[in-house]
Amino acid sequence: MRLKCAVLVAALAFACHSSSERPAPPTCVGDCGLDPGLGAGMSPGGGGAEGEGGSDGGTSKGILLTGSVLVLNDDVNFEKGPPYPGVTDLKTEAADGRTVTAEWQGSDPFALVGVRQAAPVWVLATPQNLVADDVLAVLEPVRTDMPDAQGTVTASLALVHATTLDGMFDLATVPLTRDSTKAQVILRLVDKTSTAADPPPLAGIGVSTTAEATLYGASGGFSSVATATDPTGVAVLANVGAAAYPGALVRVEFNGARTGGADVRAVTGAVTLTTIRL
């Protein structure tokens, strides 16, 4: 597995942010103040905040969603990485229910125009050179229900290295093979009761779902024997049933130190990245 790097996610300072970390967004992306890495913050519930509208319920001409695409080099917390230098195709739901598309070219901010206001919308990022760049398509939830005065939401999207997941799966008690007809889901569970700008991860949370296997962070790596999250709050769901974009809803239940449930989307061949508040 690639060694953990300590560099990530910068939004719209784009390609050259000095620390290469995702700064707090200028508008309320995710949970006001919650780092939007791994997707917007989602509260547990029947639909994981699926379909909640903004002030106009998503019936207007839509908002401008702009930002950058990063590639995660942090293989334990899945939080850090530099801007992705390759071309990436983006798609999400338009205000009229159709699909709006755009490209990330590796430097200038992408611009998805006419995006539905919701908490969240799901954005699919598909790099054009998947094999050459060792990356996978990623699906992330982004809250667009609280745009700024200009009708704009700024967010960072993140990609995952294929070899990161493959290396992780190889170390499972019963080795796993990544199934390209299914989806992989990376969950980061954080404490919703915290008043911190970046809520701390939650340890001691078990995850129940229909995945082939669930791996939890453990001792700087991942374990298929562990039964709950460690202090990283990260759980990886291997080979989850999925569908073509916009994907299938996958029910996830939480037990242990906190309880609840959420629905996350899963797209065939892609990785779902999301942060869930419990």
Both tokens assigned to 110: 């992408």
The predicted model scores a pTM of 0.82
pLDDT tens by residue, 110-167: 999 999 999 899 999 999 999 999 999 999 999 999 999 999 999 999 999 999 999 9
pLDDT tens by residue, 16-58: 333 334 333 333 333 333 343 445 555 565 444 343 334 444 4
Q: Reply yes or no on whether the pLDDT at 274 is more than 90.
A: yes
Structural contact between residues 242 and 8, judged by C-beta atoms closer than 8 angstroms? no
Lowest mean pLDDT among 28-37, 58-67, 255-264: 28-37
Q: What is the reported pLDDT for 255?
A: 97
Q: How many CB atoms lie within 10 A of CB 21?
A: 20
Q: Reply yes or no on whether the pLDDT at 87 is more than 80.
A: yes
Mean pLDDT of the chain: 83
Q: Are strands 99-104 and 118-119 parallel, antiparallel or unpaired?
A: unpaired
